[in-house]
Amino acid sequence: MSAKTVLITGCSTGIGAATVRHFAEQGWNVAATLRKPEAVQFEQGSGRVEKFALDVTDQQSVDAAVARTLERFGQIDVLINNAGYGLFGPFESATPEAISREFRTNVDGVFAVTRAVLPHMRQRGSGVIVNVASLTGLIAMPLYSVYAASKYAVVGFSESLSHELAPFDIRVKVMAPGAVATDFSGRSLARTFEGDGGPYAESIRKVMGTFQANRASAGATAEQLAQALYDAATDGSAQVRYVVGDDALAAMQMRKELGEEALLLGIRQRFGLA
């Protein structure tokens, strides 16, 4: 039996890089895609890892990477849409350009790669698509309004797509991690504001402090997310939503136990906003 193949986007660092390593260690062929493949070196593990240039905001780049993956490995069994970035800060100061970039990467990018892979999976009559969203795509956190909107879109897209692809035996799943111990809040985090944020300065200070404390104490590691992505891709189940991380699981339990109004008030209190 030939090795299975996974195509992963956003592999330069963090969750993507850890997921490349994990699948390779399990003997998979891995198409590790990123905007600058020459900048990263991956270990082969017991599988085969090939790097391909892919910019999720460029359809020609997407199509070329998918074609090269199929040429190299002959099939794509799993697609993991991981590429994305965060946009933090007040909505009032978010420029149209910043909002457009967030959606082009986090939403349109998922659409573009999925659309490029689907004909192959549909013709084979099998496949798994795992989209990386966020806890903030299930329970919105303060000062992440645009980011939350993009991740809510990914969750809704994934759930609806799971229905329309079921007749082709293609499973669609969406991963919602809480805080993750990566540099996502550094290199990959853009801001909607300059300086201290003006009238929102105090809220920004409180929210950033709470997130940093939470990331240090309760955040999952990139390796834990890689394991969760592998499990979702290979468990053979019809499960669509996967919530990962102690903080994310606790938040979802709070929603169930407290109800919507009490949960929202609790979030504001936790971040010092009430």
pTM of the model: 0.94
- According to the 3-state scheme, what is the secondary structure of the chain? CCCCEEEECCCCCHHHHHHHHHHHHCCCEEEEEECCHHHCCCCCCCCEEEEEECCCCCHHHHHHHHHHHHHHHCCCCEEEECCCCEEECCHHHCCHHHHHHHHHHHHHHHHHHHHHHHHHHHHHCCEEEEEECCHHHCCCCCCCHHHHHHHHHHHHHHHHHHHHHHHHCEEEEEEEECCEECHHHCCCEEECCCCCCHHHHHHHHHHHHHHHHHHHHHCEEHHHHHHHHHHHHHCCCCCCEEEECHHHHHHHHHHHHHCHHHHHHHHHHHCCCC
The pLDDT, as a whole number, for residue 182 is: 58
Domain spanning 5-196+221-245 has what CATH number? 3.40.50.720
Closest C-alpha to 236, from 171, 158, 161: 171
Of 85, 144, 147, 230, which one is the catalytic site residue? 147
CA 121 to chain centre: 21
Give catalytic status of residue 147 as yes or no. Answer: yes
Place of tokens 């709470």: 210
Contact 139, 255 (CB under 8 A): yes
Instruction: Tell me how crowded residue 266 is: count the other CB atoms within 10 A of its CB.
Output: 15
For the chain, the structural domain boundaries read 5-196+221-245
Place of tokens 């939503």: 241
Q: pLDDT tens for residues 63-122?
A: 999 999 999 999 999 999 999 999 999 999 999 999 999 999 999 999 999 999 999 999
The pLDDT, as a whole number, for residue 239 is: 98
- Backbone φ and ψ for 118, nearest 5 degrees, come out as -55, -45
| Beta-bridge partners for 129 | 79, 172
The pLDDT, as a whole number, for residue 215 is: 62
Mean pLDDT by 10-residue block, N- to C-terminus, for the chain (274 residues)? 91 95 95 94 85 97 98 97 96 98 98 98 98 96 97 98 98 93 61 96 94 69 95 97 92 91 93 92
The pLDDT, as a whole number, for residue 189 is: 77
